[in-house]
Amino acid sequence: MSESILSATAVAALFELPFADLLYQAQTVHRAHFDPNRVQLSTLLSIKTGGCPEDCGYCPQSRRHGTAVADEPIMDLDSVLEAARRARAAGATRFCMGAAWRGPKQKDLDPVLAMVRAVKALGLETCATLGLLRDGQAEQLKGAGLDYYNHNLDTAPEFYGEVITTRDYQDRLDTLGRVRGAGLNVCCGGIVGMGESRLQRAGLIAQLAALDPQPESVPINMLVRVEGTPLEEASSLDPLEFVRTVAVARICLPKSHVRLSAGREAMSDELQALCFLAGANSIFYGDKLLTTGNPEADRDRALFERLGISPAQAVGA
């Protein structure tokens, strides 16, 4: 499929294909751009947890929600480096640092810049997700050695207001523009299973595909329903619909790394295998994703061995 701008209706037509035909098309696109038996490994660490002023309906770190997540101050540099060394020893090639802010003030950003420099010196690719960026902050991160900045669109524009009211869609696009303008790689995806329709899932992928250039990394998150959040009672998404979402993302974002992210803890090995067949070629690797669980590294390594998959080496833009 062309990388020109796609409508949500055109993307939705891919969702309607017979399952075997959709996976065949996705696998064909995947093989044209990637080794189908290589998966990139990233590890995500919450360097500052809880207390976020935003009202994102899925997030246990919002201070507006009554969850069990405790507010924690920003981690010290030595603790972050210890976690990064463990991630490197376990085979991760990218280390992502996340902080629960609406956006960092300069006093918040300064210690993160030191973390980026130190993690980069370990030979790892670096990624950060810090919320909305102000003018000049992306350039500071780039100067410190940051490789990727994560800022998700979360869902389609027409469903966004059902999930978040404290920032709008344009806020997210503006931050992505600042990231691109600073020469950073973009990590941008979304969350499915929040009550959106199939057409709205297609709308999210259409928005991601319309970013120019398209994101280097596209995390596809399955909603983790956390007690105390507004979405704790959301209906579970059909697992095969999740596979379809991965396949459609692969077709519409042919050169992006499509990452299995939140929700993997609840996925069977068989479901993950179908996702790899559908074109997923990156995972978050380790025992925790910010504040929610993630399959342990040993389980992932065992699954890779069964599937004949090898971890990819560090990837550039």
Q: Do 217 and 260 contact (CB within 8 A), yes or no?
A: no
Q: What is the pTM of this model?
A: 0.90
Q: How confident is the model at residue 316, as a pLDDT?
A: 41
**How many alpha carbons lie under 13 Å from residue 293 in its C-beta half-sphere?**
7
Nearest to 266 by CA among 248, 291, 292, 245: 292
Please give the Cα distance from 47 to 154 (Å, whole number): 21
Please give the C-alpha separations between residue 269 and each of 55, 260, 276, 309, in angstroms, as whole numbers: 33, 13, 11, 13
Helix axes 269-277, 297-307, angle to 10 degrees: 60
Q: Do 229 and 58 contact (CB within 8 A), yes or no?
A: yes
Residues annotated as catalytic are: 52, 56, 59, 96, 127, 187, 259
Please give the Cα distance from 225 to 229 (Å, whole number): 8
Strands (E), the chain: 38-48, 94-99, 125-129, 148-150, 185-187, 190-192, 217-222, 257-260, 282-284, 288-289, 292-293, 310-311
Q: How confident is the model at residue 287, as a pLDDT?
A: 57
> For the chain, what is the mean pLDDT?
91
Please give the Cα distance from 100 to 63 (Å, whole number): 10
Please give the Cα distance from 152 to 218 (Å, whole number): 9
Q: Do 94 and 41 contact (CB within 8 A), yes or no?
A: yes
Per-residue pLDDT of the chain (317 residues; tens, 9 = 90+): 444 578 999 999 999 999 999 999 999 999 999 999 999 999 999 999 877 878 888 888 877 777 767 778 899 999 999 999 999 988 899 999 999 888 999 999 999 999 999 999 999 999 999 999 999 999 999 999 999 999 999 999 999 999 999 999 999 999 999 999 999 999 999 999 999 999 999 999 999 999 999 999 999 999 998 888 988 888 999 999 999 999 999 999 999 999 999 889 889 999 999 999 999 999 988 655 444 545 577 888 899 999 999 998 754 43
Our CA angle for 47, 284, 74, nearest 5°, is 0
Nearest to 130 by CA among 114, 141, 121, 139: 141
List phi, psi (to 5°) of 41. -110, 125
In the block, tokens 């030979």 appear at 123
- How crowded is residue 10: how many other Cβ atoms within 10 Å of its Cβ? 14
Please give the Cα distance from 187 to 259 (Å, whole number): 10
pLDDT in tens, 64-99: 777 767 778 899 999 999 999 999 988 899 999 999
List phi, psi (to 5°) of 19. -55, -45
Q: How confident is the model at residue 161, as a pLDDT?
A: 93
